[in-house]
Amino acid sequence: MQKLKLIYEGKAKKVYSTGKPDLLIQEFKDDATAFDAAKRGTILQKGVVNNKISTKIFALLESKKIPTHFVESLNDREMLIKKVGIVPVEVTIRNIVAGGMAKLLGLEEGIVLKKPVLEYHYKDDALHDPLINEYHIEALGIAAKPEMNTIALYSFKINDVLKEFFLKKGLILVDFKLEFGRFKGKIILADEISPDTCRLWDSKTKEKLDKDRFRRDLGNVEEAYQEVLKRVMA
């Protein structure tokens, strides 16, 4: 499948049209941003790492009956995907308090939650992806109630599958972000799942092996991404 035209460029990915109207090519870049692009940088080989990890995870989720936009891997940085209409809601699932939840509620990072927390954020960088709930989403017509039920169901199932998967690799899945889209009237998982969109801590040392190393200037950013890739592929 050939790339025809660049139709969208985001902070971490480019999307191209193909000869088929239902299919797009998603290319993963090395560009890294944080705090709604207030901080910018490059993580060498991140695009390759995130493409490979996302490919592996989408295939795993498909095998567990979670529909995704993934069609096939094309090369180191590109995958063929289904063309969805993105639901402009970022779904966050949290197993352990960190990042935004620690800040919002004045909590210590590392508190293990009694049950997973699901959050919705309205996807709008200029507004800093504000926290919203099902009422906002339904009342503003962002998505319908049955669609949100499906999104919540898939998100918790994905958490169950990924928590177990990562733990076998010596990684604790602290939290992660998902995006969903509509394809032929059905909700499917879109975007990516990678160290950009998950918090992953080494299960023995609790060392951060994700984008927090970039966000917080912790050093060894590339090394952490390579380590996650190595473990995911092992």
Residue 87 beta carbon to ligand TMP: minimum distance, rounded to whole angstroms? 15
Binding-site size, ligand TMP (CB under 6 A): 12
Least distance CB 101 / ligand TMP (angstroms): 6
One residue of 54, 155, 197, 226 binding ligand TMP per CB under 6 A: 197
Q: In sequence order, which residues have a C-beta less than 8 Å from that of residue 83 and are 6 or more positions away?
A: 21, 22, 23, 24, 183
Q: Would you count residue 88 as binding ligand TMP (CB under 6 A)?
A: no
* Site stretch for ligand TMP (CB under 6 A), options 42-50, 99-107, 108-116, 136-144: 99-107
Residues in contact with 86: Cβ distance below 8 Å, sequence separation at least 6, in sequence order: 123, 179, 180, 181, 190, 191
Site for ligand TMP contains 176 (CB under 6 A): yes
| Residue (111 or 144) nearer to ligand TMP, CB | 111
Point out the residue whose Cβ comes nearest to ligand TMP.
99
What radius of gyration, in Å, describes the C-alpha atoms of the chain? 17
78 near ligand TMP (CB under 6 A)? no
Question: Which listed residue (27, 78, 147, 175) binds ligand TMP by CB under 6 A?
Answer: 175
Contact flag: residue 54 with ligand TMP (CB under 6 A): no
Is 185 exposed, middle or buried, given 0-12, 13-18 or 19+ CB atoms closer than 10 A?
Answer: exposed
Judged by CB under 6 A, which of 92, 95, 155, 159 binds ligand TMP?
Answer: 92
Q: CA 174, CA 193: separation in Å to the nearest integer?
A: 13
Measure the CA dihedral 40/42/43/49, to 10°.
100
Residue 3 or 202: which CB sits closer to ligand TMP? Answer: 202
Near ligand TMP in 132-151, by CB under 6 A:
none
Distances (CA, A) of 10 to 14, 20, 119, 186, 213: 6, 22, 22, 24, 21
Among candidate residues 187, 167, 8, the one with its CA nearest the CA of residue 87: 187
Which residues make up the interface to ligand TMP (CB under 6 A)? 92, 98-101, 175-177, 196-199
